[in-house]
Amino acid sequence: MAEPAVRIPDAKVALSTASVYPESTATAFEIAARLGYDGVEVMVWTDPVSQDIEALRRLSDYHQIPVLAVHAPCLLITQRVWSTDPWTKLQRARAAAEKLDASTVVVHPPFRWQRQYARDFVAGIWRMANETDVRFAVENMYPWRYRDREMLAYAPDWDVTKDDYRHFTIDLSHTATARADALDMVDRMGDRLGHVHLADGRGSAKDEHLVPGRGTQPCAEVLERLALTGFDGHVVIEVNTRRAMSSAEREADLAEALAFTRLHLASAMKVPRR
């Protein structure tokens, strides 16, 4: 009997709620369900619904779309969301993930001015990871640049592979901004890579989060490598659609990103017919 021409990998493809901004968290659930995403990653930020576990549960149940990951409120604009204490933020993110049956909490390394937090971060993430089945996947960042000046804004380092974490998130828009080799970073993360933020970039000083295939990052090659190595984490579409002229244009971008991701995850799994 002939084997199937394509084996579909176990990785699930999710939509980040940040991908619909300035639309709401609720809209992200609706779009994810309509386009056929496997789930959502909730970016916890200033939208009150993103901070409300019961509201998120109702959206998940109504749209029949699971929450696969929770992105802790680590951004500059979310410094007061879920407390001003960074460890409290992570504890609340873990509790949210546990209550929503999400497998992963995404967290950024500290800003350098968060000195005590940065000093204890690596050990603290290990301690929290040992207390739960939820993965704390620490995300690669990038140097901040202005003209010919570069500022190292994150500690211990924007390149999280320089430190010892149980799980990593790789973000391909961030590798573009850092002008880092994404495939080399995937290799350095190895089997500790548990989560992917898929987006593209052209190496600008801005964190662009382009639709995959519209920049210079090896998005297709990364997906194919993940498929070949049996990656069973989540691939999350985290793109910037703020310039979309309409809801229909935004949805078309998100449909294109999903199709790109599924195509390249599957293309690496082709086997010859017998």
- Is 31:15 a contact under the CB 8 Å cutoff? yes
Q: What pLDDT does 274 receive?
A: 44
pLDDT digits (tens, 9 = 90+) for 235-260: 999 999 999 999 999 999 999 999 99
Q: What pLDDT does 4 receive?
A: 52
User: What is the spatial distance between Cα 68 and Cα 207, in angstroms, rounded to a whole number?
Assistant: 24
Based on DSSP, count helices (H) and strands (E) in the chain, helices before strands.
Answer: 8, 10
**What's CA 118's distance to the chain center, in Å?**
21
Q: What pLDDT does 273 receive?
A: 43
User: What is the spatial distance between Cα 112 and Cα 109, in angstroms, rounded to a whole number?
Assistant: 9
pLDDT band at 149 (very low <50, low <70, confident <90, very high): confident
pLDDT band at 270 (very low <50, low <70, confident <90, very high): low
For 73, 177, 192, 266, the CA distances from 164, given in Å and listed in that order, are: 22, 23, 10, 31
Identify the weakest region by mean pLDDT among 12-21, 99-108, 263-272. 263-272
pLDDT digits (tens, 9 = 90+) for 199-229: 999 998 889 999 999 999 999 999 999 999 9
Give the residue-averaged pLDDT of 260-264: 96
Domain boundaries, given as residue ranges, for the chain: 8-143+160-264
Residue 133 neighbours by CB under 8 Å, 6+ apart: 103
What DSSP state is assigned to residue 43? E
- Name which of 271, 272, 265 is nearest 9 in CA terms: 265
**Residue type for 56, please?**
L
**Residue type for 24, please?**
S
Q: What pLDDT does 7 receive?
A: 58
Q: Structure pTM? A: 0.93
* CATH superfamily membership of 8-143+160-264: Divalent-metal-dependent TIM barrel enzymes (3.20.20.150)
User: What is the spatial distance between Cα 31 and Cα 20, in angstroms, rounded to a whole number?
Assistant: 9
**Residue type for 52, please?**
D
Give the residue-averaged pLDDT of 134-159: 91
For 29, 65, 114, the CA distances from 38, given in Å and listed in that order, are: 11, 7, 36
Question: What average pLDDT does the structure give for the chain?
Answer: 93
Q: How much of the chain exceeds pLDDT 70, in percent?
A: 94
pLDDT band at 153 (very low <50, low <70, confident <90, very high): very high
> CB atoms < 10 A from the CB of 266, how many?
17
- Does residue 17 have a pLDDT over 60? yes
- Does residue 52 have a pLDDT over 90? yes
- Is 234:196 a contact under the CB 8 Å cutoff? yes
